[in-house]
Amino acid sequence: MLNLKILYKTDPRIHFCPDCKKQGGLKKSRSRNFYEKFVKFLTPFSMYRCQLCGWRGFKSGYLIKAASFKSLFIYFFLFAITIMVVSFILKRFIIK
């Protein structure tokens, strides 16, 4: 069976810090201003702070793997076929 997931949920706390490149130092940080709350509300990004070096910034809780592009291609292909079939049915039987 194909695994057609596009986004994979991950835990950014176990990933490497973008600044010091050490693993396991990230901890969730509270949003401090309107911009940070706005980004957190509308995107999959959350605020994190590195306990080892003090870095603070946005990290996503989702990961796109190489297999995701294969899934996207399959979904796009199915969508295109569906559009063509619906268009054919509308032109042939509905719109005269």
Number of domains in the chain: 2
Task: Tell me phi and psi for residue 29, to 5 degrees.
Answer: -120, 145
C-beta neighbour count of 26 within 10 angstroms: 24
Q: List the chain pLDDT tens, one digit each, 96 residues.
A: 556 677 777 777 777 888 888 888 888 888 889 998 988 888 888 888 998 888 898 888 777 777 778 888 888 999 999 999 999 999 888 876
Residue 43 C-alpha from the chain's centroid = 9
> Do 44 and 21 fall into the same domain?
yes
Q: Do 71 and 79 contact (CB within 8 A), yes or no?
A: no
Residue 2: what are its φ and ψ, rounded to 5°? Answer: -80, 140
Are 50 and 70 members of one domain?
no
Question: Whole domain around residue 94: which residue ranges?
Answer: 66-96
Residue 92, domain member (yes or no) = yes
Q: Do 31 and 72 fall within a single domain?
A: no
Is pTM beyond 0.75? Reply is no
Best CA proximity match to 42, nearest among 28, 60, 21, 18: 60
